[in-house]
Amino acid sequence: TILYLAGANIFDPFLVGRLARASRVTPSRVLQRIHVSRAFTCHQMARLVTDCLASAIERYGARWVILSGPLETLYDESVPDQEAVRLFHAMRLALQRLAQQDMQILCVSPLPAMASTARRGFLAALRGQANRAITVRETDGGIWLHEQETAGSPCWTIPRAVWNRL
C-alpha cells in the first residue's frame, strides 16, 4: 500500500496503469493499493504531513509514502516567508520521525522557481536529510537519472523509445 500526497496536483492513474501493464500486473490491482490526497495550499500540505500521515499509515498499513511536489505549495508568494519557513520545518520534522520508524518516503520535487531568500534552502534541507537524492533530467536520448553522492555515483538512462511506450 502506498500513500501518495500530491502537492503539485500531479497524479496520473493512466501512467500507473501503463507501468502496471508493462510489469504484467493488472492496473486495477495496483491502483487499489494507492491512496491519494491532494493539497492545494501549504497549510493543507503541512497538515497532511504533520497531522494526518501517521494515522493514515497505520490505517492502511502503508510501507511507502510518496510526496509529489511537497515544496510547491510553500513557494506561494501570497504566504509570508516566516509562515512558509515554520510550515516547512514542521513538515521536515514529521518526515524525519517517520523515516526513523523505517517508513520508506520518496519525495519528488522539481527545482524551485525563483523563491525568496528564506525559501531557497528548502530543497537543499530536504535533500540533506535524505538517504538518497537522485537528479532526473530529460535529454534528447530519454530520461537521465543520477544519484547525488560522489563523482562515481550511479547513473541510469531510460531510452526515449521505452519511455514513450509508457
Provide the residue count of the chain.
166
pLDDT in tens, 18-61: 989 989 999 999 999 999 999 999 999 999 999 999 999 999 99
* pLDDT value for 4: 95
Q: Max alpha carbon distance in the chain (Å)?
A: 48
**Cα 109 vs. chain centroid, distance in angstroms?**
6
**What is the Cα–Cα distance from 112 to 97, expressed in whole angstroms?**
25
**Which are the contacts of 69, defined by CB distance < 8 A and separation ≥ 6?**
6, 7, 8, 9, 10, 108, 109, 110
Look at the pTM and tell me if it is higher than 0.75.
yes
